[in-house]
Amino acid sequence: MNERILELFQQSPEAYVSGEEISRRLNVSRTAIWKHIEELRAAGYEFEAAPRKGYRLVSKPDKWQVTELLQGLRTKVLGQKVHVYGEVDSTQTIAHALVASGAPEGTLVLAEAQTAGRGRMGRAWHSPAGKGIWMSLVLTPRVPVYFLPQLTLLSAVALCRSIQKVCQVDIGIKWPNDLLIKGKKVSGILLESSGEDERLKYVIAGIGISVNLKVEDYPEELRSVATSLAIESGAEIKRETLVQAFLLEFEELYALYLEKGFSPIRLLWEALSVTLKRPIRTHSPSGVIEGIADSLDDSGALTVITGNGEKIKVYSGDIELR
Ligand code: BTN
For domain 2-59, give its CATH number from 3.40.50.300, 2.60.40.10, 1.10.340.30, 1.10.10.10.
1.10.10.10
pLDDT reading at 163 higher than 80: yes
pLDDT reading at 252 higher than 80: yes
Work out the pLDDT band at 166, boundaries 50, 70, 90: very high
**Does the Cβ of 125 fall within 6 Å of ligand 1?**
yes
Structure-derived torsion over alpha carbons of residues 218, 219, 225, 226, reported in degrees to the nearest 10: -20
Bridge partner residues of 306 (DSSP): 291
pLDDT at residue 322, as a whole number: 87
Query: Residue 152 is inside which H or E element, if any?
Result: helix 148-166
pLDDT at residue 54, as a whole number: 92
pLDDT reading at 296 higher than 90: yes
pLDDT at residue 111, as a whole number: 97
Residue nearest to atom 9 of ligand 1 (CA): 208
> What does the pLDDT average to over 21-46?
90
Work out the pLDDT band at 239, boundaries 50, 70, 90: very high
CATH 1.10.10.10-classified regions of the chain: 2-59
pLDDT at residue 248, as a whole number: 98
Which of 48-52, 160-164, 203-207, 282-286 shows the lowest mean pLDDT across its residues?
282-286
pLDDT at residue 287, as a whole number: 85
d(C-alpha 157, C-alpha 176), whole Å: 10
**Does the Cβ of 272 fall within 6 Å of ligand 1?**
no
pLDDT at residue 276, as a whole number: 96
- Ligand 1 centre to CA of 25 (Å) is 42
CATH 2.30.30.100-classified regions of the chain: 279-321
pLDDT at residue 43, as a whole number: 78
Q: Which of 131, 125, 161, 127 is nearest to 64 (CA)?
A: 131
pLDDT at residue 289, as a whole number: 92
DSSP class of residue 301 equals P
CATH 3.30.930.10-classified regions of the chain: 66-272
Q: What percent of the chain has pLDDT over 70?
A: 100
Domain 279-321 has CATH 2.30.30.100: yes
Q: Where are the beta strands (DSSP E) in the chain?
A: 46-50, 54-59, 82-88, 108-114, 132-139, 171-174, 178-181, 184-196, 199-210, 279-284, 287-296, 302-306, 311-314, 319-321
Please identify, by atom number, the ligand 1 atom nearest to the C-alpha of residue 178. Answer: 2
Read off the amino acid at residue 312.
I
The residue to mutate among 88, 112, 134, having the most atoms of ligand 1 within 8 angstroms of its beta carbon, is: 134
d(C-alpha 57, C-alpha 55), whole Å: 7
pLDDT at residue 108, as a whole number: 98
Q: What is the mean pLDDT of the chain?
A: 95
Which of 9-18, 70-79, 180-189 shows the lowest mean pLDDT across its residues?
9-18
Q: What percent of the chain has pLDDT over 90?
A: 87
DSSP class of residue 172 equals E
The residue to mutate among 64, 92, 239, having the most atoms of ligand 1 within 8 angstroms of its beta carbon, is: 92
**Does the Cβ of 117 fall within 6 Å of ligand 1?**
yes
pLDDT at residue 317, as a whole number: 87
pLDDT reading at 139 higher than 80: yes
pLDDT at residue 189, as a whole number: 97
pLDDT reading at 41 higher than 90: no
> What does the pLDDT average to over 204-220?
96
For domain 66-272, give its CATH number from 3.40.50.920, 3.40.220.10, 3.30.930.10, 2.170.190.11.
3.30.930.10
Q: Where are the beta strands (DSSP E) in 197-233?
A: 199-210
pLDDT reading at 34 higher than 80: yes
Q: Which residue has better confidence, 7 or 158? A: 158
Residues 261-295: pLDDT tens digits? 999 999 999 999 999 999 999 988 778 999 999 99
